[in-house]
Amino acid sequence: MIDRRQLIGLPFLAPLLVASARAQGLSTRPVTIVSPYAAGGTSDIIARILGEGLHDLWKQPVLIENRPGANGAIGVSAVARAEPDGHTLLAVASSALTLNPLLYKKLAYDVERDLAPVTVTGLVPNVVVVHPKVPARSLQELVAFAKAKPGGLTYASQGIGSNGQMNAELFRLATGVPLLHVPYKGSAQAVTDLVGGQVDLMFDNLPTVLEHIRGAQLRALAVTSAGRSPLLPDVPTVSEAAIPGFDTAAWFAVLAPKATSPMLLAQLETAIASVLARPGSSAKLAAAGVTVAAAGSAELSARILHDRKMWSEVIAKAGIAIE
């Protein structure tokens, strides 16, 4: 596993990586990074920052291809079927690797069978946000208010089986707070209705709601990561505020087709870690609310297994199903 700290300040790696990549044919034609979501989202932002850095490293075009649909399944399936030559990579959010296999009976890919882990790239906390009409200014107050209100509170999500729903249901199961799920087709409309007061609260990726928090259109009560976000230093974690051990930060990763050679996978892991270690890359990611986490392939495999177990228990207890 590559330790990102070992790469900082080692510019001599770049020419070695370029020579190694050329030896493997990586620089013979453009590399495509598939983002299985619409442009502008967190996964797309990470893919484009990686593309810029890898282009500089390899001196070869790196193209970003957005292939949205089916909670990421369309883009993931395309990479699973691609040639395992290092020229097609997948920049993806954790839900496509951990939630989709649990929720979809017919999925066109199998993570373990069809994909090879390269590295985790970044962590993004979800944030618990409420409309200002909700009087709660802490999670404890939110729980008390919801329990006292007839019918409880409504929460928006990005859709049935989304990361936002999973976080809210895990919170509901842990606290016993009455919550009614209102699913949307994506985050944009859900946030619009939350800002408009049609729903009471939401668990969403921090980058998506940050400007609404700063503009006082939404109130942030807690973040779901293990530590506080540098962008919201005064906002506690869920673990601090209400549920010790609660840690459900969304994470992002790069994978390749399964049959990609171990040597090439190692080269890709090192190259991506080198890009993420650059001050320019980390600054751009931090501005988007992403914490760099170039943790390598072993950590990525461990995260997939951990989260799949956690979410499978939530799905069973909450009775979540996609028809």
pLDDT at 70: 80
What is the C-alpha to C-alpha distance for residues 32 and 44, in angstroms, rounded to an integer?
13
What is the C-alpha to C-alpha distance for residues 273 and 253, in angstroms, rounded to an integer?
12
Residue 322 · residue 107 · CB < 8 Å:
no
Indicate if 126-247 has the same CATH topology as 4-124+250-316: yes
What are 11's two structure tokens?
A: 């510019």
Q: Pairing between strand 179-183 and 153-157? A: parallel
Where do we find the tokens 């959010």? 93
Residue 162: which of 197, 188, 200, 136 has the closest Cα? 188
Q: What is the pLDDT of residues 185-226, one digit of tens each?
A: 888 899 999 999 999 999 998 988 999 999 999 999 999 999
What are 231's two structure tokens?
A: 């962008």
Q: How confident is the model at residue 110 (pLDDT cuts 50, 70, 90)?
A: very high
pTM for the predicted model, two decimal places: 0.82
pLDDT at 266: 95
Average pLDDT over residues 38-58: 90
19 pLDDT higher than 60: no
pLDDT at 29: 81
Q: Exposed, middle or buried: residue 82 (CB in 10 Å: 0-12, 13-18, 19+)?
A: middle
CATH no. for 4-124+250-316: 3.40.190.150
Which bin fits 182, alpha (ψ -120 to 50), beta or left (φ > 0)? beta
Q: How confident is the model at residue 115 (pLDDT cuts 50, 70, 90)?
A: very high
* Average model confidence (pLDDT) across the chain: 89
Q: How confident is the model at residue 7 (pLDDT cuts 50, 70, 90)?
A: very low
Q: What is the pLDDT of residues 255-282, one digit of tens each?
A: 999 999 999 999 999 999 999 999 999 9
How many angstroms separate the Cα of 21 from the Cα of each of 31, 54, 71, 146, 229?
Answer: 11, 11, 32, 56, 36
13 pLDDT higher than 50: no
Q: How confident is the model at residue 38 (pLDDT cuts 50, 70, 90)?
A: confident
Q: If residue 68 lies in a helix (H) or strand (E), which one and from where to where?
A: none
Domains of the chain by residue range: 4-124+250-316, 126-247
Q: Name the CATH superfamily for 126-247.
A: Periplasmic binding protein-like II (3.40.190.10)
